[in-house]
Amino acid sequence: MHRSIVHMDLDSFFVSVSCLDYPKLKGKPVLIGGTSDRGVVASCSYEARAYGVHSAMPMKLARRLCPDAIIVRGDYERYSQLSETVTDIIKENVPIYEKSSIDEFYIDLSGMDRFFGCYKWATELRHRITKETGLPISFGMSENKTVSKVATGEAKPNGQQKIDFGNEKTFLAPLPIRKIPMVGEKTANLLRTMGVEKIETVQKMPVELMENVLGENGIAIWRKANGIDNSPVEPYNERKSLSTEETFDQDTIDVNHLKSLIVAMTEKLAFQLRSEDKLTACVTIKIRYSNFDTHTTQSRIPYTSNDQTLIDRAKELFDKLFQRRMLIRLIGVRFSHLVGGGQQINLFEDSEEMVKLYQAMDRMRKRYGETSIQRAVGTEYERRRFNPFNGRSS
Partner 1 sequence: MKFIVSSTTLMKHLQQISGVLNSSNPLPILNNFLFVVEKGTLTVSASDLESTMTTSIQLTEGKQGGKIAVPAKILLDTLKTFPEQPLTFLVDEKTLGIEIVSDFGKYKLTGFDAEEFPRVPVMEGSKTLKLSASILLNAINKTLFATGNDELRPVMSGVFFQLSKDNITFVATDAHKLVRYRRTDAKASGEGALIVPKKPLNLLKNIVGDSDEIVNINYNENNILFQFANHSLICRLIEGRYPNYEAVIPVDNPNKLTISRSALLSSVRRVSIFSNKTTHQVRLKVAGSELHISAEDLDFANEANERLTCQYEGEDMEIGFNARFLADMLSNLEFENVTIEMSAPNRAGILVPANSENADEDILMLVMPVMLNN
- Catalytic positions, please? 104
Strand-by-strand arrangement of the 30-33 sheet = 41-44, 30-33, 70-72
CB of 277 to partner 1, least distance (A): 5
Those residues whose C-beta lies under 8 Å from the C-beta of residue 52, and which sit 6 or more positions away, are 65, 66
Those residues whose C-beta lies under 8 Å from the C-beta of residue 294, and which sit 6 or more positions away, are 286, 287, 288, 330
Q: How many CA atoms lie within 13 A of 199 on its CB side?
A: 24
CB of 23 to partner 1, least distance (A): 40
Nearer to partner 1, 89 or 355 (CB): 355
Nearer to partner 1, 130 or 346 (CB): 346
137-142 and 160-162 strand pairing: parallel
Element (H, E) at 64: helix 59-65
Nearer to partner 1, 190 or 360 (CB): 360
Q: How many angstroms separate the CA atoms of 287 and 328, rounded?
A: 7
Nearer to partner 1, 162 or 274 (CB): 274
CB of 373 to partner 1, least distance (A): 17
SS3 53: coil
Nearer to partner 1, 308 or 346 (CB): 346
Q: How many angstroms separate the CA atoms of 376 and 365, rounded?
A: 15
Nearer to partner 1, 107 or 301 (CB): 301
**Which runs of E-coded beta strand occur in 160-240?**
160-162
CB of 110 to partner 1, least distance (A): 22
| 122, 139 Cβ separation under 8 angstroms | yes
Q: How many angstroms separate the CA atoms of 54 and 59, rounded?
A: 10
Cis ω for the linkage preceding 232 (within 30 of 0):
no
CB of 355 to partner 1, least distance (A): 5
CB of 376 to partner 1, least distance (A): 24
241-252 and 328-336 strand pairing: antiparallel
Q: How many angstroms separate the CA atoms of 13 and 137, rounded?
A: 9
Task: Kindly report the backbone phi and psi dihedral angles of residue 196, in degrees, each rounded to the nearest multiple of 5, phi listed first.
Answer: -95, 115
Q: Given the rule CB under 8 A, which residues bind partner 1? A: 236, 238, 274-275, 277, 279, 303, 339-349, 352, 355-356, 359
